[in-house]
Amino acid sequence: MKALVLSLLLIFPLSVPAQSLEQLDEAIQQGAFGNLNAVIVSQYGDVVFEGYYRGAQPGDLHQVQSVTKSVGSALVGIAARKGLVQVDQTLDDYFSGLYDLSSSTLRDKSNITVAQLLQQRHGLQWDEDNSDYRDPANPVTQMIQSDDWYRFVLEQPMAAAPGTAFAYSSGASTLMSRVIRVATGMGPDEFAQQELFGPLGIDAVHWEIYSEQGLGHGITQWSNPDHDPSLGFSLWMPARGLLKFGELYLNGGVHEGRRILDESWVEASWTRHSHAGNSDYFVRPGWGHGYQWWIARVADPAGREWPVYFASGWGSQVIFVIPDLGAVIVTVADNYDYNGPNVDVMLISRILPELSPRLDSGFSGSWYDPTMSGQGFSLEVLETRGALVSYWYTYTPEGALRWFILQGELIDGVGEVVVYEASGGRFLQDDLVSLAEWGTARFLPVDCMHLLLEVEAPGLSTTIPLTRLTGECRQ
């Protein structure tokens, strides 16, 4: 997992020429980003790119590796929504039925909370980033070879007090399987099918550990007392299933009008519980880890910055979710021994430049042109009504106060407005204000912090670059 995070850091920001999505297919076929099997790009609910490579087909199952962790987090969130789990519950609530947590090797693990598992701030000593997962020295490999995966994880020494340090651990994520078992009375595979995959319309999934020989050659007998699959890394899904899962989070936990996750769970999953301020693992502002989701800020070749939330697995299995663009990008691959430009480079150099945001309620606020002090715009986007209104406070060429009202519709993600010049009226007086049609304008979103206003009026044709003064971007 760490390879993807580090490569994103190394290319921030990336200065390369933009390429169209039409050229993306050719680049993938030529191996520009490794051994990709499928790539899907969806924006505002529409698939704008979908390609399958190296013999892969739409219905094929792909081992998604640590994307399993994000699915596991969703299962905990569903159980929490049902009142079956509280994130402040401790491991003692879930593992005391299996082990004596008062023993010398286990007692310092009993107070680790569910939230700390989700945040990877459990305090366990664990380093799976500095050796290949096929290396016998890797703790994940050692866990798999042990007789009891849960006990192996819980017997690791503590490196820090719970809640005080980040340590990425597939072993800690595996403990989520037991949380689901105790909370719901079902194994994570059964609970997932009933409460997540079924409602999302994901018909085919499979649980099996990676094997170099592929599907059907990995471990399917789970070495834990419950015989449940690991929520750390063992799931197989079709690429379109990953897209549905990513869109569930993009849509705040709702799928086709049905709420599956609380919106607050999505927000907690995308909150930087670990970041550069409290973890040496992260070095840039805006980067971090939530509830089994990674969080980043990236810049595209045009210099636009985007918050990106992603589920990521070994070998370039990734779901990128970019709310400001209404976009979900899915990749599945066999990049286990590939060291060239990866799917993060593809995202930044080939995909982001081709996506533009829609004007929506997130753009409501105050805006101004930094080169023109003391004047600006108030903008209110009425997304559900497909309308917007703006007030432009400015000056005449002679320096007198002047103001306009801009009213119109949202059309294809752009604000199309008529500009009216206002005159008359007096301060705190009930005098009539006159409105005279003056021109037309278009609000074009650039990114969360920037708009362009194209103005057409008698004797005037100009574009005003606007910067946000108030209103919030997703952090």
Q: Give a yes or no: residue 473 inside a domain.
A: no
Q: Are residues 190 and 282 in the same domain?
A: yes
Q: Are residues 289 and 425 in the same domain?
A: no
**Residue-level pLDDT at 16:** 40
Name the DSSP class of 229. Answer: P
Question: What does the mean pLDDT of the chain come to?
Answer: 94
**Residue-level pLDDT at 285:** 86
Q: Are residues 292 and 409 in the same domain?
A: no
**Residue-level pLDDT at 198:** 98
pLDDT-based confidence at 431, cuts 50/70/90? confident
pLDDT digits (tens, 9 = 90+) for 118-159: 999 999 999 999 999 999 999 999 999 999 999 999 999 999
Q: Which of 339, 354, 369 is the last residue of a domain?
A: 354
Q: Are residues 313 and 369 in the same domain?
A: no
Query: Average of pLDDT values for 163-169?
Result: 97
Name the DSSP class of 361. Answer: G
- The domain of 462 spans 361-468
Q: Are residues 420 and 317 in the same domain?
A: no
Q: Is the pLDDT of residue 11 over 60?
A: no
Q: Give a yes or no: residue 232 inside a domain.
A: yes
Name the residue among 79, 262, 284, 93 with its Cα closest to residue 187: 79
**Residue-level pLDDT at 6:** 45
Q: Give a yes or no: residue 377 inside a domain.
A: yes
pLDDT-based confidence at 7, cuts 50/70/90? low
pLDDT digits (tens, 9 = 90+) for 299-325: 999 999 999 999 999 999 999 999 999
C-alpha torsion 70→269→173→318, nearest 10: 30
Residues 81 and 262: beta-carbon distance below 8 Å: yes
pLDDT digits (tens, 9 = 90+) for 322-375: 999 999 999 999 999 999 999 999 999 999 999 999 999 999 999 999 999 889
Q: Are residues 294 and 430 in the same domain?
A: no
- To the question of pTM greater than 0.85 for the whole model, the response is yes
Where are any strands of DSSP class E within 145-299?
Answer: 206-207, 235-237, 254-255, 258-259, 274-275, 288-289, 294-299
CA distance 43 to 439: 32
Q: Is the pLDDT of residue 91 over 60?
A: yes
Say which CATH number the domain at 269 has: 3.40.710.10
Where are any strands of DSSP class E within 258-400?
Answer: 258-259, 274-275, 288-289, 294-299, 305-313, 317-322, 327-333, 365-368, 376-382, 387-395
CA distance 120 to 136: 23
Structural domains counted in the chain: 2
Query: Average of pLDDT values for 47-56?
Result: 97
**Residue-level pLDDT at 475:** 56
Query: Average of pLDDT values for 427-452?
Result: 93
**Residue-level pLDDT at 4:** 59
**Residue-level pLDDT at 428:** 87
Q: Are residues 23 and 50 in the same domain?
A: yes
Q: Are residues 145 and 234 in the same domain?
A: yes
